[in-house]
Amino acid sequence: MMGFNFQVIGNIRTVQSFTGEERAVRSYKEALRNTYKHGRKAGFTKGLGMGTLQSLLFLSWALLVWYTSIVVHKNIANGGDSFTTMLNVLIAGV
């Protein structure tokens, strides 16, 4: 696409002299349309992937907090030890 842009801009006098402006504009629009379609697909895919990863991250943190609350509630460990363990797991995951 960049090569096409440079050719049209660099040879604008030739394009104007042969009245090929309309054809150049049409082909430029077509090149932009193809780039736009590809960009939308790529953006959607990247957004979906990042959203999925963020969801898994936050869900795992929620599971960790829930499990820690169960451990404290059943007196398996005290709150301080559980909180320290939870922070160690979170920091180790980073």
Could you tell me which residues come within 8 angstroms of residue 65 by beta carbon, excluding any fewer than 6 positions away? 86
pLDDT digits (tens, 9 = 90+) for 11-31: 666 655 566 677 777 888 888
Residues 54-75 have a mean pLDDT of 88
pLDDT band at residue 85 using 50, 70 and 90 as cut-offs = confident
What is the pTM (predicted TM-score) of this model? 0.56
Q: Tell me how far CA of residue 52 lies from CA of 13, 60, 85, 93, in angstroms.
A: 51, 12, 26, 17
**Which pLDDT does position 50 carry in this prediction?**
96
**Residue-range definition of the domain harbouring residue 53:** 2-93
The structural domain count of the chain equals 1
Residues 26-54 have a mean pLDDT of 90
| Mean confidence (pLDDT) of the chain | 81
